[in-house]
Amino acid sequence: MVVNINNRQKRIIEILKDTNEWIVSSEIAKRLHLSDRTVRNEINIINNLYEEPLIISLKGKGYSLNKFNVNIEEITQVAEKRQLIILKSILLSKKIDFYELADKLFISETTLDKEISAINQIIKEKNISLAVKRKNNKLYFEGTEESKRKVYLYFLIDEIGEYSFDFNNYSDYFHACDILELKETVMSFIKEEKLVLSDLSLISLIIHIAIMLESVMHGNYITSILNDNIDKELVRISNSFYKKLSKIINFKLPDEEIYYIASLFTSKLVNNMDNLKPNHDYYNIVQNLIKEINANYQVDLSNDKQFLNNLQMHLTALGKRVHSNRYYSNPLIQDIKDNFPFTYDISVYVSLRIQELMDIKLVEDEIGFIALHMMCAIEKMKLSSKKRIAIINPLGRASTNYITERLLKCLKKPIEIMEVYSLFELEDVIRERPDLIVTTVNIDKCTDIPVFKCSYLLKDNEIDEIGRLIDLKENEDKGTNKVLLEYFDKKLFFCNVSFRNKEELITHMCLRLKEQGYVDDRFIRSVFKREEIAPTAFGNLFAIPHPAEKIALKNGIAVCILNEGLNWSKHKVKVVFLFSLTKSNMNLNKIYEVFVSLLEDINRVKRLAKVQNYEEFIDSILN
């Protein structure tokens, strides 16, 4: 049985296959340079492909292959490799007989049809103007030569497993030149010209050139390129590079291909901030985006000048890449989605606004780069965010100063002493909403703010207790499953239902929300707008569709439990949560954290997928 697994999943299986004992997810994560959560998610996705789990888990021991389930050798035949073979066969032959290709791959015509549909769907998601067509039983690509090369690059990187730093991994895919010799030629030239490229840009440049050479060797050329848009210095660089390149290939390149090389250098060099001067047209765009992020997500980045400058420079580089019709592959995109869903969602919103403000179209990889800037800024905010403590002490300044100094010195946590208040100022304290009130006298007034009564001299055990209360407060801020209960509504719960596709499902759920007065007509348009730029399936049998911005009339979460799994982009989905949040809702981050924490447990998701009514659903959420 050939199953549709990606290269990363294949590597996880190979590690388990080579291990004769149990292995914990953290060890697999360490070997593959992934996060623990990503490994667990990938294992869940693998298991969902089989009726019986391929990978079994045991608490306290870790994971092992269920070797009685399937033939392990068959698993390593990945469907992506077959897609790459199909793609390359069509690209290099210009036209190829449908039945001959099926025979060559030892697959049925039906399977080949399905593979071609899958290839076209992936190309569509990458926003590349290209498609495999079938006419008179001949398969061919309809699109520009440049688009064909982009598509081949994408499938190649997906097959190898992101950008590999070991060029031996690429050698079987290219025959126009020796890939290792090409690498040395490019690196030598980069040093001679004193050009600055990141490792990722360098690898991408080499692979782009290798694909170009492979295409030209098979008679596939760039027919036209906008020479006027290419800087004269870059034309000089490309001509100079061609002189070195011609020593390792046995065919000539037409002028259009040399201009193509110049455009490759353009796109790679603009990704390095050192080569850029900020475009001040983008300054106002970034300023407005910062205001919108705060208004929609309650994340205030207005004082982070580094974020402003970095995003401004990023937009400058992005503008140049779009102008030269080049995008940059992002190997971290799935890890960002898995581990930083709230930050990723902000980045999707920012990307949508950038599309509107700059009149461009972005692919999902670009969202990942914006997310990296967001992650850096938000992490900085976390480090600088201190728990605010109000002190109530009726004694004099000396006693108060002593308590303040003891707290600042002995608590191994970032805290801010707001002010020292008298007992008669308690109402003012409550209005200021500190994270904790430390008082030397009893407080009778009821408040939801944690209160700790200490001695006038603040003993060591009392400091320990204050530290514990701060930890509890931090955990509360992250939320619990009960946080979600106020958003669920029996009228918005649907189970034992089936839909033909995600579009039909989303439409149905949006209409039910509208019937109950939660949303208006803008909502459904915004949900599809958000889904178009980046699908909201998380790869663990669940999806969380939501609008591009908070425009609901009432807060709520619609729930749909499907009879059968639904294909949602690359993932199978059985449980769907549709967020309906108002502009004034301040809990989006908390809701995300709770949801992702809740649903990364595949056993809980499977329990949810089997519930028959609303009461069972709530019980599965809480327990």
What are the DSSP calls for 404-457, one per residue? Answer: HHHHHHH--S-EEEEEEE-GGGHHHHHHH--SEEEESS---S--SS-EEE--TT
**Is the predicted pLDDT of residue 71 greater than 60, yes or no?**
no
Q: What band does 325 get if pLDDT is binned at 50, 70 and 90? A: low
Q: What band does 76 get if pLDDT is binned at 50, 70 and 90? A: very low
Name residue 201's amino acid.
Answer: S
Burial of 224 per CB tally in 10 Å (0-12, 13-18, 19+)? exposed
Burial of 575 per CB tally in 10 Å (0-12, 13-18, 19+)? buried
pLDDT of residue 469: 86
* 3-state percent breakdown (helix, strand, coil) of the chain, nearest 5: 60, 10, 30
**Is the predicted pLDDT of residue 272 greater than 60, yes or no?**
no
Average pLDDT on 194-223 reads: 86
pLDDT of residue 209: 94
Average pLDDT on 31-43 reads: 86
**Is the predicted pLDDT of residue 458 greater than 70, yes or no?**
yes
Q: Which two tokens stand for residue 193?
A: 């010209």
pLDDT of residue 226: 57
Question: Are residues 599 and 478 in contact, defined by beta-carbon separation less than 8 angstroms?
Answer: no
Question: Are residues 133 and 98 in contact, defined by beta-carbon separation less than 8 angstroms?
Answer: no
Residue 23 DSSP SS3: strand
Distances 456 to 412, 423, 441, 621 between C-alpha atoms, Å: 21, 15, 9, 45
How far is it, in rounded angstroms, from Cα 416 to Cα 404? Answer: 10
**Is the predicted pLDDT of residue 16 greater than 50, yes or no?**
yes
CATH number of 7-77: 1.10.10.10
CATH number of 482-622: 3.40.930.10
Question: Are residues 536 and 365 in contact, defined by beta-carbon separation less than 8 angstroms?
Answer: no
Average pLDDT on 265-289 reads: 70
Q: What band does 338 get if pLDDT is binned at 50, 70 and 90? A: confident
Architecture of domain 274-384: Orthogonal Bundle (1.10)
pLDDT of residue 187: 92
112-160, pLDDT tens digit by residue? 998 899 888 888 877 677 889 999 999 998 888 888 888 888 888 776 6
Q: Which two tokens stand for residue 218?
A: 């098979």
Average pLDDT on 515-542 reads: 90
DSSP H or E stretch at residue 556 = strand 556-568
Question: Are residues 79 and 3 in contact, defined by beta-carbon separation less than 8 angstroms?
Answer: yes
Main-chain dihedrals φ then ψ at residue 426, nearest 5 degrees:
-55, -40
Distances 337 to 158, 348, 439 between C-alpha atoms, Å: 17, 11, 43
Weakest-pLDDT range from 49-63, 372-386, 473-487: 473-487
Average pLDDT on 214-239 reads: 80
Q: What is the residue-averaged pLDDT of the chain?
A: 83
How far is it, in rounded angstroms, from Cα 348 to Cα 354? Answer: 10
How far is it, in rounded angstroms, from Cα 101 to Cα 137? Answer: 11
More confident residue, 557 or 586: 557
How far is it, in rounded angstroms, from Cα 75 to Cα 68? Answer: 13
More confident residue, 532 or 479: 532
How far is it, in rounded angstroms, from Cα 91 to Cα 119? Answer: 13
Share of the chain above pLDDT 90, in %: 27
Average pLDDT on 502-507 reads: 95
The terminus-to-terminus CA distance of the chain in angstroms comes to 37
Number of other CB atoms surrounding residue 136 within 10 Å: 7
Average pLDDT on 209-217 reads: 92
How far is it, in rounded angstroms, from Cα 396 to Cα 394? Answer: 7
Q: Which of 72-86, 93-107, 202-216, 588-602 has the highest mean pLDDT?
A: 202-216
Displacement of CA 213 from its chain's centroid (Å): 32
Class of domain 387-478: alpha beta
Is there a shared CATH topology between the 7-77 domain and the 274-384 domain? no
pLDDT of residue 376: 86
Give the residues across from 451 on adjacent strands. 437
Q: Which two tokens stand for residue 382?
A: 């976390």
**Is the predicted pLDDT of residue 77 greater than 90, yes or no?**
no
Displacement of CA 228 from its chain's centroid (Å): 36
pLDDT of residue 273: 47
Q: List the Cα angle 161/165/168 in 5-degree steps.
A: 85
Mapping DSSP onto H, E and C, the string for 282-324 reads HHHHHHHHHHHHHHHHCCCCCCCHHHHHHHHHHHHHHHHHHHC
Domain layout of the chain by residue ranges: 7-77, 274-384, 387-478, 482-622
pLDDT of residue 274: 47
99-115, pLDDT tens digit by residue? 999 888 777 888 899 88
pLDDT of residue 111: 83
